[in-house]
Amino acid sequence: MAFKIGVLGIDHGHIFGMLGRMLEQGCTCDAYWTRGAAVTETKFRKVFPGLSKCDDRRRILEDPDVKMVLISAIPAQRAALAIEAMEAGKDVMVDKPGCTTLDQLALIRDVQARTGRIWTVNFSERFEVPAVTKAEELVLGGAIGRVIQTIGIGPHKQNLATRPDWFFDPEKFGGILCDIGSHQIDQFLHFTGSTDATIVHALVENTTMPEQAGFQDFGELVLRSDRGHGYIRVDWFTPDGLPTWGDGRLFIQGTEGQIELRKYTDIGRAHATDTLILVNGTKNELIPCHDAVLPYFPRLVRDVEDRSETAVAQAHTFTTMRLAIEAQMKAQTP
């Protein structure tokens, strides 16, 4: 079932999870290309020593054995690379945000429809978190009734010493709601079963770095659909005392109970990831979820081989990115 993949762009650290988990599925990769210097490159070459660097990305795009391309370039450059890859007959997994403008998204939709290629965005806060797998199992099993609201928070450390110049330029990173917020929008749509939503409120601010006029360190938005409501907060305020990059959480409110996911740590006790708390009519449980599987990656491998849509619906990915971009535009409109 496995196949050969290529890498275009390693500017964001999410490429480690994207490539590493596809290799775990038995895929192979022997080459990568990236435009200019990437802050991840020294580590990337250590983690994946068997990959050679291409000076010309056409070596990857014209390789008939490469079936899928992974893209983690500067966000504003991802759409053009994805389009080029699909035109070359490759399926694409792109880091979030998959694109940064509605014009880019429209071009991607057109090319995807014409070529029949897969264009999937790796929403790692769902696809790479075992606790989310367990939450999905519980929700589908009726543990909390019908989901009516999600609250997603995505705080991050600034880690300024390791940030490249594009990190501070909204034209290049897409804005905080388009970027980090796309994770939370994906989870809202998924858990409420919504196929679309309305952005009721959106706001972005820069409160800590006045010397970087375009930087955004806080964002929030409110979503409403015919299935439920959602509130999202994302920021770059995580203090250095936290033992990881951010205290990402997801709260899922149902008609008959509630679930809280403490994904990356659990404040106030020894550092622990993938903690789920379930409360309903008969249970009040803290459930460790480290052994839950991550179905996105094996399903995606099958989708590439079978031309199916089991990992994530293409329409869902398009809708998620459209809403993220619309939220960013609404927040920035005077």
Q: Does residue 2 surpass a pLDDT of 90? A: no
Fold topology of 4-122? Rossmann fold (3.40.50)
**In the chain, alpha helices (H):** 14-24, 41-47, 58-61, 78-87, 102-115, 124-127, 130-140, 170-173, 176-179, 181-192, 296-306, 314-332
- pLDDT score for 1: 66
Helix, coil or strand: residue 44: helix
pLDDT band at 333 (very low <50, low <70, confident <90, very high): confident
Domain coordinates in residue numbering, the chain: 4-122, 126-294
Give Cβ neighbours of residue 50 (< 8 Å, ≥ 6 apart). 30
- pLDDT score for 55: 95
Query: 184-205 pLDDT, tens per residue?
Result: 999 999 999 999 999 999 999 9
Separation CA 17–CA 195 (nearest Å): 27
Query: 68-96 pLDDT, tens per residue?
Result: 999 999 999 999 999 999 999 999 999 99
For tokens 């997801």, what's the residue?
250
Looking at residue 264, its amino acid is Y
Whether the domain at 4-122 and the domain at 126-294 fall into the same CATH topology: no
Q: Does domain 126-294 have CATH number 3.90.78.10?
A: no
pLDDT band at 214 (very low <50, low <70, confident <90, very high): confident
Query: 295-325 pLDDT, tens per residue?
Result: 999 999 999 999 999 999 999 999 999 999 9
For tokens 């762009």, what's the residue?
9
